[in-house]
Structure 1
Amino acid sequence: MNGSAAARLHRLRWLLTVLFTVLNATGLIVLAWLLVDQDREQGELRMDASLKEVTAAVSRLVQSSGDGTVVTAFIGQDQIDTSCPEFAVLPAGAGEFEPHFSRRDCAPVDRGRLYGLAEDSTASGRVIQGYVPSTEDGLVRVVTKPFLNAAGQYAGAIVAVSDPTEELDRHSAFVWWVIGGCALAVAAVGLAGHLLSGRAIRPAATALEQQEVLLAETAHDLRTPVAALRALAETAMRNPADRPDLLPRTVRLAARMGSIIDDLLVRARLAAGVETLAIQPVWLDQLVTGVVQETPSNGAQVTVTTAPSAVYADPNLVQRAVGNLLDNALRYGRQPGSPAIVHITVAGGRVTVADHGPGIDASVAEESFDRFTSGAGSSGLGLSIVRWTAQAHGGYLRVYNAEEGGAIFELSFPLAR
């Protein structure tokens, strides 16, 4: 595996962007090609329609006598003879008459090439239309229509010629507009693809971030107790006589490490969606009383005042959150050299934990809920778990200082009705 997981996700996003852009760009190019080709055909149809109007009008002016002689004298009397597109009535096949060329030059074309077109159209008996080279290194558009004499034989052809420069310039401008529009569309598609690919890989990126945070939290929170546990073990090895005193401390540290790991795993599993909240009616007063009874006080004075209070919550998460608040108060809510004094009140869906410690600085009270910070030097994980639990239930966690000193934590949950 090359590179970090974040780098691979970054490359995956660009790969998805490129694939999305290429697929849509291919569709746009095909559509653009169809539009350009259709516009070219429409332009040619317009030019051919104009030329066919000329050949139809001239064919009505061409007369044929009973002996098959073709008469073109009437053409010169019509205004079409001096209009554009220009034309020529040329003998071919069974026809023998003086050729007639309109009196206005509208397109630079070689007359010898017009004779060739007349011969081809007369020989095949069908209309010939298309581009032929001009005398100025360009193209001209022609329509060649054969006509019959009185004997029913092809006697010649009418060749109408127009200069396609204006139509070709218009088509070229249309092509450039299509190219510019496609370029803008491809750019927009690329941007949209980049945004969509970002949204597509966002769950994976979030899961990766959660994994990295979990690893960082685990390493951070276990570093201190692991170091203390090692120090106790080394002390016990050097001083066998102190082992009876060191063993209880070792057990407490191990229990603390287990609690830290449990907190991390619970939060990680819920955040990842592996587990969901088991919301149900819970008697908050009974739950808090049970947590206090199961938590060793270690000489601290803990009082509980409760009133019946039913809330909608996940009992396991609430139990852990209350236990974290109580553990925080027992550990940090004391004056130097004095046992902790903790007052817990439960009423109206709220759990209030007050201690007699140094309190918490109001300017950093909110930061005490953040990961890796606390007002008393702890890792902050316990309080962050408490706040996360409250927010997951639609409640809140607040902290403030009592007037007589000490910190007060207020944890609230939605009441069951």
Structure 2
Amino acid sequence: MTSSADRLRRLRRLLTLLFTVLNAAGLLVLAWLFVAQDREHRELRMDAELKLVTAAAARLLQYHGDTVITAFLGQDQIDTSCPEFAVLPARTGGFEPHFSQRDCAPVDPGSLQWLAREATTSGRFVEGYVPGTSNGLIRVVAQPFLSPGGQYVGAIVAASDATAELAGHRGVVLWVVGGCVLLVGVVGVTGHVLSGRAIRPAVAALEQQEVLLAETAHDLRTPVAALRALAETAWRNPADRPDLLPRTVRLAARMGSIIDDLLVRARLAAGVEKLAIQPVWLDQLVAGVVEETSAPDAQVTVTTAPTKVNADPGLVQRAVGNLLDNALRHGRQPGSPAIVHITVAGGRVTVADHGPGIDASVAEETFDRFTSGGGSSGLGLSIVRWTAQAHGGFLRVYNAEEGGAIFELEFPVAQ
């Protein structure tokens, strides 16, 4: 079965893909506009140069009646310069065609004649490309001209080799494509990082929730089974009910404590627990916890010195109670009553027992993973550590030389 955290991770990949696709689409539009603008700019530059030639040639044309005279074109420097041009009649026999002397752009004369007819027929400039005789593209501009009678009788067609400009445009296209690929990669990585940062708190919360649910089922399974066994025994044996009822009450109280601890830890882990920080007399609080804790078969001693800390009294009381409960349940030798020594001084609560001790190599795991070497759920110790961290303090654990575990819980001292 897929967990909620796994579904969130898939959502992260989907968000990354969506972020990348949307940005890639925007980049493609911008790239297309840039490439189109570059091509248009190059064509306008070539057309402007060609129109300068056609305009100069048009000024050199002379007329004798409706007859076009091109003799003066051969006397001007444009006739031997690039771009090359041709003065062509709209129809055969209109006047003698004139071609400039310099061959700058190898182009088929038939293509030039077709452009001249198009310009003359439409009465406007015609721009475009025609294939050159050497497999390149030639940029051409055809300008129609009027006879003295007001009729379009021919056109001046200027031609320029577009190979260099088109090669430059292809270079721009390659740079744009490469840049887009690089930017899409950067956008993808950025989207992955941003989506991870956005979803990480939700993933962590879901993972904590799943762990919490699993541990809740684990911690309550044994007491629920024991409670059911007690209830069934009391139902089948009415005479034993006076003995079984106190055990049932204690078991129910233990279940309530487990549930309370689970809720506190969940709220701390989710960051929704509001700490009511205030000056607290730690020695008095610890003494009150010991006095309220029922331990008829245990020996508990308390040594305190006045010490004031900045803390949430409710959470500190629960943390100290969990340490004491842990020592009473696991801090004893087989067949012997529990012996617990509690010392309070300098913002520090030290709880020492006479039990089998704790393996220091698994102490961190004990505080974080709800397990302990003594067979308990370890949830109480986890809450103790969370409480210490929430207050800017710490929890230490080590074994005494003479045996037994020692827990030190420290809080910031009030100034």
Q: Tell me whether the two structures share a fold, i.e. TM-score over 0.5.
A: yes
Instruction: Supply the distance in 2 between the matched residues of 1:117 and 1:405 (Cα, whole angstroms).
Output: 107
Deviation track 1:335-392 (CA, whole Å, cap 9, x = no partner) reads 2211111111111111111112222233333333232322322211111111111011
Distance 1:384 1:119 in 2: 93
8 Å contact from structure 2 (residues 289, 321) kept in 1: yes
Q: Match for residue 357 of structure 2?
A: 359
Greater Cα shift, 216-225 or 312-321: 216-225
Question: Is residue 252 from structure 1 mapped to residue 250 from structure 2 by the alignment?
Answer: yes
The worse-fitting range, judged by mean Cα deviation, of 64-73 and 47-56 is: 64-73
Which residue pairs with 1:214 in the alignment? 212
Find the partner of 1:100 among 98, 101, 108.
Answer: 98
Q: CA deviation at 1:305?
A: 1.5
- SS of equivalent residue, structure 2 residue 329: helix
1:140-169, CA deviations, whole angstroms, 9 ceiling, x for partnerless residues? 321122446678876643210123233223
2:73 to 69, 75, 82: 75
Residue in structure 2 matched with residue 262 of structure 1 by the alignment = 260
Pairing 1:110-125 to 2, within 5 Å after superposition: 110-122=108-120, 125=123
Unaligned runs of 5+ in 2: none
Aligned to 2:38: 39
Q: Displacement of 1:291 after TM fit?
A: 0.6
**SS state of the match for residue 311, structure 1?**
strand
The answer to which of 162-171 and 70-79 deviates more is 70-79
Alpha-carbon spacing, 1:152–1:370, altered in 2? closer, same or farther (3 Å): closer
- How much does 1:283 deviate? 1.3
Would the aligned equivalents of 2:61 and 2:73 in 1 still touch at CA under 8 Å?
no
Q: Name 2:409's counterpart in structure 1.
A: 411
Aligned: 1:396 with 2:382: no
Q: 2:166: which partner in 1?
A: 168
Equivalent position to 1:293, from 291, 294, 297: 291
Deviates more, 1:372-381 or 1:244-253: 244-253
Change (3 A) 1:239 1:47: same
Measure, in 1, the Cα distance between the counterparts of 2:264 and 2:49: 82
What is the distance in 1 between the residues matched to 2:363 and 2:90?
Answer: 105
CA distance in 2, matches of 1:9, 1:121: 65
Give 1:313's aligned residue: 311
Please tell me the residue identity of whatever aligns with 2:326: N
1:232-286 CA distances to partner (integer Å, 9 max, x unpaired)? 4455456555443333232222211110110001121233244311111111111
Deviations 1:40-93 (A, max 9, x none): 101101211221232244345x25267565443343345543443221122459
Stretch deviating more after TM superposition (190-199 or 107-116): 107-116
Cα deviations across residues 88-126 of structure 1 (Å, max 9, x unaligned)? 122459x95422112333334332442343344345554
Alpha-carbon distance in structure 1 between the residues aligned to 2:375 and 2:118: 102
* Residue pairs, 1:121-270, within 5 angstroms: 121-122=119-120, 125-132=123-130, 139-147=137-145, 156-236=154-234, 240-270=238-268
Deviation of the 1:326 alpha carbon: 0.5
Give me the TM-score of the superposition, normalised by structure 1.
0.89
Residues 381-405 of structure 1: CA distance to partner in whole angstroms, max 9, x if unpaired? 1111111110111001111222332
- Aligned twin of 1:332: 330
Q: How does 1:7-46 map to 2 (within 5 A)?
A: 7-46=6-45
The match for 2:86 among 88, 101, 110 is 88
Equivalent AA in structure 1 for residue 270 of structure 2: A
Q: State the superposition RMSD in angstroms.
A: 2.9
- Which consecutive unaligned segments of at least 5 residues does structure 1 have? none
Q: Who is 1:341 aligned against?
A: 339
Cα shift at 1:30: 1.1
Q: Conserved in 2, the CA contact under 8 Å of 1:283 and 1:311?
A: yes
Q: Normalized against structure 2, the TM-score is what?
A: 0.89
1:55 aligns with 54
How many Å apart are 1:302 and its aligned residue?
0.9
Change (3 A) 1:5 1:63: closer
Amino acid at match of 1:350: R
**Aligned with 2:320 (options 319, 322, 342):** 322
CA–CA distance in 2 between the matches of 1:213 and 1:160?
A: 81
Q: Which residue in 2 is equivalent to 1:276?
A: 274
Aligned residue pairs: how many?
415
Matched residue of 1:351: which SS? Answer: strand
Query: Aligned partners of 1:91 and 1:236: how far apart in 2?
Result: 122
Equivalent position amino acid for 2:164 in 1: E
Residues 1:335 and 1:244: Cα distance change in structure 2 (over 3 Å):
same
**AA at the equivalent of 2:299:** Q
Residues in 2 aligned to 1:39 and 1:164: alpha-carbon distance in whole angstroms: 14
> For 2:370, what is the secondary structure of its paired residue?
coil
The one-letter code of the counterpart of 2:26 is G
Residue equivalent to 1:6? 5
Q: Any conservation in 2 of the 1:64–1:150 contact (CA below 8 Å)?
A: no
State the Cα deviation string for residues 161-203 of structure 1 (Å, max 9, x = none). Answer: 1232332233233223322322332232223223322222223
Matched residues in 2 for 1:11 and 1:379: separation? Answer: 33
The letter for the 2-side match of 1:46 is R
Deviates more, 1:405-414 or 1:269-278: 269-278
Q: Displacement, 1:134?
A: 5.0
- Residue 243 of structure 2 aligns with an amino acid whose one-letter code is D
Deviation at 1:218, TM superposition (A): 0.7
Q: Distance in 2 between matches of 1:323 and 1:111?
A: 104
CA distance in 2, matches of 1:66, 1:336: 134
8 Å contact 2:264–2:383 — kept in the other structure? no
